[in-house]
Structure 1
Amino acid sequence: MHPILNDIRLISFDLDGTLVDSVPDLAAAVDKVLEEIPLPPAGEDKVSRWVGNGSLKLVERALTDALGSSPSQQHLEQGHSRFLYHYGQDVGSRTRLFPGVVEALEGLSAQGLHLTLVTNKPQAFIQPLLASLGLEGYFALCLGGDALPQKKPDPAPLLHVADHFGLSPSACLMVGDSRHDVAAGRAAGFRTLAVPYGYNHGEPVSDSRPDALVDSLAELVAPAANPFSARSRA
């Protein structure tokens, strides 16, 4: 097991950009909203830089980019409603697991760790997406971005998860792909681990100085030679 897991009893995973590459489905829904207005499509490259703060913020960024200015509240609410409709029609046909995810989840589950999901994706989409990818049996608790009044980078969702299992935050690890995940974990008192292949608004997640960085989540269940290797925070 990776040294970052020493004395860890619970792991909270981010979803989009950490476990799954969901941008193709998110971009398809965004572009359908823009087509209805009508406005030019955004495409996957732009959407990949807008993901991470929940669906409302994603739609706001898409409309602002297409309009050249911030949308009115009415247009934003209408656009968000249409996005939820379109994305709800197809949450997973183009979404794929990142390499190493299944190996990590299987290995960590075998160790008896509590595995949880803390994402800013709306709650209604989590179970259908997990089911489409065969991941629904791994997580003891899933929190979407609308499950609580606060979402990441606020630490409240992570503190809620720790409290749910009666654990100290110091016994918990946050795993994500963005500065929001690292900030939420740090503020909650969790250890933090990041993957560099996610979305993070086009910025290297290493700039946020997580406690450790792995190229693949499979490294969590593989032997490690050094306790906080060269890719750890130093």
Structure 2
Amino acid sequence: MMGSRGVLSIIFDLDNTLIDTAGAGRTAIQKVCELLKSTHVQESHIRDICERFLRKLLQESFDPSEGKTIDDVRIQHWCEALQETPGTDPDPALASRCYYTWKNTRLQALSLSSEVRALLEELQKNYKLLLLTNGDTQTQREKIEAVRCEGLFSLVVVGGDHPEQKPARSIFTHCFESAGVRPQDCIMVGDSLTTDIQGGVNAGVRATVWINAGSKSLPQDSVTPDYTLPTVLHLKEVLAQLA
């Protein structure tokens, strides 16, 4: 039974839900392209090198128990991207420069827009706001610090701090118990069908809200969100329906 308390808590994803991580990433890659143009690397190879890095990033598996930092792993991605490109010297120093240019530019480009910040400030007057983000602890904490958003949430949970990440039920259970709420008191808001929306369904939240900024079609055999919005700025419309 849902009970009659209505929505008490909103669980937000971070990347591409509250902040435009994809856009910041594009800006960061452009900066690396400019760096590589100033080196010995052939200009015709630059885009290929960057695309190789992005593929490695997408397929990344990181285990902190192996004694490496996420910085070490991602410098290695750039080193391999250089090495795999014909006629390009896999210079470790250049790989490090590429990585820190990409990392620092991306962090600088990330921001919580004034509109999103205002929305969260308004919502926190009536709802308990939780932030639940997947990813390596260092990387996600750096983003949270860069956009100065931690004070807007009653609880911030980073997947890398836990044995399982979204869509696992366990990390949602941790959120519920830590925040003192029931699954049916909460809605889950995020851009990923496979982690945010599926995770919300697995955990039994009251409703799931898919942020579909690119107007993507719902894939076949995908979990179906209860609501779909082009931006988190329309969230109050959903809350009004759930009141």
TM-score bracket, shorter-length normalisation? 0.5 to 0.7
Q: What is the aligned counterpart of 2:183 among 158, 163, 169?
A: 169
Amino acid at match of 1:161: C
Question: By how many angstroms is 1:160 displaced?
Answer: 0.7
Count residues in correspondence. 194
Q: What is the aligned counterpart of 1:156 among 163, 170, 181?
A: 170
Amino acid at match of 1:148: H
The 8 Å contact of residues 155 and 179 in structure 2, kept in 1 or not, is answered as no
Q: After superposition, give the CA deviation of every residue in 1:112-165 in whole Å (9 maximum; x if it has no partner).
A: x21111111322233442343342310122122211111112122111100112
* Alignment partner of 1:103 is 2:103: no
Amino acid at match of 1:41: C
The 8 Å contact of residues 10 and 172 in structure 1, kept in 2 or not, is answered as yes
The 8 Å contact of residues 213 and 229 in structure 2, kept in 1 or not, is answered as no
Amino acid at match of 1:40: I
3-state SS of the aligned residue for 1:41?
helix
TM-score when normalising by structure 2: 0.63
- RCO comparison, higher one (Cα < 8 Å, 6+): 1
Change beyond 3 A, Cα 1:21–1:224:
closer
Q: Which residue of 2 aligns with 1:11?
A: 10
Give me the identity figure in percent.
25
Q: Which residue of 2 aligns with 1:64?
A: none
Aligned partners of 2:175 and 2:214: how far apart in 1?
A: 23
Change beyond 3 A, Cα 1:15–1:170:
same
Aligned partners of 2:209 and 2:10: how far apart in 1?
A: 10
Question: By how many angstroms is 1:169 displaced?
Answer: 0.7
Q: What is the aligned counterpart of 2:50 among 38, 41, 51?
A: 41
Return 5+ residue gaps in structure 2 as ranges: 62-67, 78-95
Change beyond 3 A, Cα 1:147–1:167:
same
Aligned partners of 1:183 and 1:171: how far apart in 2?
A: 17
Aligned partners of 1:88 and 1:40: how far apart in 2?
A: 16
Q: Which residue of 2 aligns with 1:215?
A: 230
Amino acid at match of 2:208: T
Change beyond 3 A, Cα 1:217–1:135:
same
Q: What is the aligned counterpart of 1:196 among 208, 212, 230?
A: 212
TM-score when normalising by structure 1: 0.65
Alpha-carbon RMSD: 4.0
